Structure 1
Amino acid sequence: MKKVLITGANKSIGFEATRQLLQQGYYVYLGSRDLQKGTEAVDKLKAEGLSNVEVLQIDVSNDASVDAAFKELSAKTDVLDVLINNAGISGGFPQTALTTSPDVLREVFETNVFGVAKVTVTFLPLLQKSAEPRIVNVTSGLGSITLHTDPNWKYYQVKSAAYGPSKSALNAYTVVLAYELKDTNFKVNAVDPGYTATDFNNHNGPGTVEDAAKRVVKAAVLEADGPTGQFFSDDNSPETGISPW
């Protein structure tokens, strides 16, 4: 049975991705910053008959928490097949370049970029023991710098000084990570789940968590001949599913 760690999985897209992977026969470590909320999420899934899941307390913005989570997981398993870096924050909106405090940028980047890097490097030893390791970095269509310069893009007016740039940086990190692992069995990709109605955006998005999670899960279960180093986005590029960077 393949094993997955999903950060920020106690609610919304991460929670639904957990459910879908459990339904596909994976064992999931449900990462949650808040242990109680994570436990409640696990109990809900078990009540649905999905038993191959347990909570792992992890705050991706806290190095000590990440190290403790690795130590705990290493005591449970020798191998991790999939890492889904899903945890993220927005920093609050609106975010104009002229008025947003640098402190907000630091806070957002701490979770959305530095946290992803810390978690990835820390859990890499377990992933390297998998025959088919997969890393999925949950990004946003708003991370595309190419599209942000195109006045015809449907989200051209949606600019943010912290959130969007943090996802652009995450995309760049994904490219480098995929390159460094290109001669291995790793598949490393960035996935835009789409503009989804969650508490992240006060439930304003038109998409559902079910469809969003499907996009994330699709990258998590790629076959050996699947792509790596891609920016998947059905929202940005419905024809190809590949977004420009």
Structure 2
Amino acid sequence: MILKSLFSKFLYLGFSVLLPFYGLTQSTVANNSTTTIPFLSNSKIVIDGKLDDWKAPNKLFKIDQFVSPWSSPDFGKTEFMAFYDADWFYFSFEIEDKKIVEADFKKESDVALGDRGEIFITADSSLKEYYCFEISPTGKVLDYVAHYYRKFDYNWNLEELEIKSSKTSNGYILEGKMPMSFINSIDKSDGNTLSNLRFGVFRAEFNNLNPKDPTVNWISWIKPSTNKPDFHTPSAFQKITFEIK
């Protein structure tokens, strides 16, 4: 419990899944294309930490412009892609990182001590309940359910989550999938359970293993309306839609 308490203080952010965007407000979102996640019935994507097979699909949700509201804008390429089929939600990060920082993995909270890509998902605009997935450069996962404000349950895990990673010449790739049964369960209301979802997509860029270091660069798809780094806030999320099958 002491470790969890300390970790809650050190876990400053998390960074939320993603897709192509077209014409969203400059002050709210980085310059992207569309907020619709496409349905692909026969993608043949293999989760192996490589993205060669992501070139075949003719439509993908893609975020290729992120913002760094509180630190240096010079953080290198950050790209998020996603789509879904009848059974799975697929996603990937491609991150340029000249100095990868990652702690030895002994427990899930170690992921929060270094570089990572993050996806947050909710169906509630006030973040009464939301799900967080923070993924290290070697594919280690810190996943938890949260409640506003910053009430984290680290005992929650998505057992069916599959992640693979690989190092590149200038950074790392994260590739994963999670069951659509989980995605559909997030919205507890009646009706279309894929019509009210909100995503946050983030990146943490460290220079060392100190989570309190002021040089940590917190990078987001959406520009939150906070004076200090914080992705556990409603303004860090964007409403998205899933293409109808």
TM-score band by shorter chain is: under 0.3
Higher strand proportion, which one? 2
